[in-house]
Amino acid sequence: MKLVEFFAPDEVELELGAEGKEAALRELIGLLSVNEKADELFSLLKKRENLGSTGIGKGIAIPHCRSLVVDRLRVVYGRKPAGLDFEAVDGKAVHHLFLIVAPPVEISNQYLPVLGKIAQFCKNPKNLARLDEIESEAEFFEVLEQADV
């Protein structure tokens, strides 16, 4: 499957309101609509972040975990044009956030491959430059489609 196929229009937010790491995680989780399970998910993502930031540098963060609170692999994108402090490995502000949550048992075992696809997508500076410029969710899907990852 191509990366674009893992996203849904209501799981893209081009103007995150969050100013810090925890608030950003909560806002991204909000896009998943897991309701009362949001705290469990937040707690697990925090534990993962405590081991080492998933802010991988160059303005990108890819928080991720597996959890029983979802029944299929979910991917969310959030953009913060002004940047936010995600304690990234290079100490720079993060502008692009991809949240990945997968169930522990996946028949197609997509979790690590999707993590890899997002990392690959983000390695191309042209893709990030385009994400900086998009003004709608539809354009986000166009960028992913054209990236052909």
- Across-strand partners of 96? 60, 79
Helix, strand, or coil here: 83? Answer: strand
127 binds another protein (CB under 8 A): no
8 binds another protein (CB under 8 A): no
1 binds another protein (CB under 8 A): no
How many CB atoms are closer than 10 A to CB 138?
Answer: 10
| Nearest CB to another protein, comparing residues 82 and 107 | 107
Token pair, residue 95, equals 């502008």
115 binds another protein (CB under 8 A): yes
Choose among 22, 103, 96: nearest CA to 62: 96
108 binds another protein (CB under 8 A): no
33 binds another protein (CB under 8 A): no
Burial label for 135, CB within 10 Å (0-12, 13-18, 19+), is: exposed
Whole-angstrom distance, CA of residue 86 vs CA of residue 7: 23
The residue within the footprint of another protein, chosen from 48, 58, 92, 130 (CB under 8 A), is 48
104 binds another protein (CB under 8 A): yes
Candidates 25-33, 61-69, 126-134, 137-145: pick the segment binding another protein (CB under 8 A): 61-69
Whole-angstrom distance, CA of residue 56 vs CA of residue 142: 24
| Nearest CB to another protein, comparing residues 35 and 135 | 35
56 binds another protein (CB under 8 A): yes
- Across-strand partners of 109? none
- Which residues lie near another protein (CB under 8 A)? 39-40, 43-44, 47-48, 50-54, 56, 62, 65-69, 71, 89, 103-105, 111-112, 115-116, 119
